[in-house]
Chains A and B, each alone.
Chain A
Amino acid sequence: TQLLEQSPQFLSIQEGENLTVYCNSSSVFSSLQWYRQEPGEGPVLLVTVVTGGEVKKLKRLTFQFGDARKDSSLHITAAQPGDTGLYLCAGVPPGSSNTGKLIFGQGTTLQVKP
């Protein structure tokens, strides 16, 4: 059983469209992170959300942390081909705040076609 469930797992859209990726859990997380990974590279941190209900924006990307801190979403406005990649949500599981080890969702593969 995945502690963090991401949906959808795969998304193929045209340039200019909007999209939302979801990350859900039955557990409360003290924080959640979103990463982007390109082929042959390691994940790169995009944002960390800490407070329930928090909204953070990074250019055309908007990240939201659920009020109950069990879920998060990533919304991309006017997607561009350069947004193509694997998007991962991750968090430190309950009881592991001393270590900082991360558990990841399965990832969402985004393909933006020109």
Chain B
Amino acid sequence: GAGVSQTPSNKVTEKGKYVELRCDPISGHTALYWYRQSLGQGPEFLIYFQGTGAADDSGLPNDRFFAVRPEGSVSTLKIQRTERGDSAVYLCASSRYRRGTDTQYFGPGTRLTVL
């Protein structure tokens, strides 16, 4: 594909439910990032993958959040026992490498609403 795609674009769930958010990065990009953006704020880093491994998960808020990238391409962000405070736009980005100056290409995000 031409860019980073994320599905679903919108997800409404009830408090306590489990959700999965999917990210398809640009083909050939080895680095993948997840960010969370609350209304009117800048994105907040969650986790970074280099290939299949989570190289930095320091931004995950607690153990209800987990992400995988089993084949080094598609990634899934998983949230257990969702809470209303989890409501936000979840952004995925990919870059060819991991150097700080490499361009990160962002997807359109998944808007998660927890009722």
Contact = CB atoms under 8 A, between A and B. Distances in A.
Contact of B42 (A41, A45, A88, A100): A88
B41 A107 contact: yes
A55 interface: no
A103 B45 contact: yes
A44 interface: yes
Interface string B52-90: 000110010000000000000000000000000000000
B1 interface: no
Given A50-B101, A100-B100, A102-B104, A42 B109 contact: yes
25 contacts: A31-B100, A41-B108, A41-B109, A42-B93, A43-B106, A44-B106, A88-B42, A96-B56, A96-B100, A97-B99, A98-B98, A99-B50, A99-B55, A99-B56, A99-B98, A101-B33, A101-B48, A101-B59, A102-B35, A102-B43, A102-B45, A104-B44, A106-B41, A106-B42, A109-B40
Interface of B: 4, 31, 33, 35, 40-45, 48, 50, 55-56, 59, 91, 93, 95, 97-104, 106-109
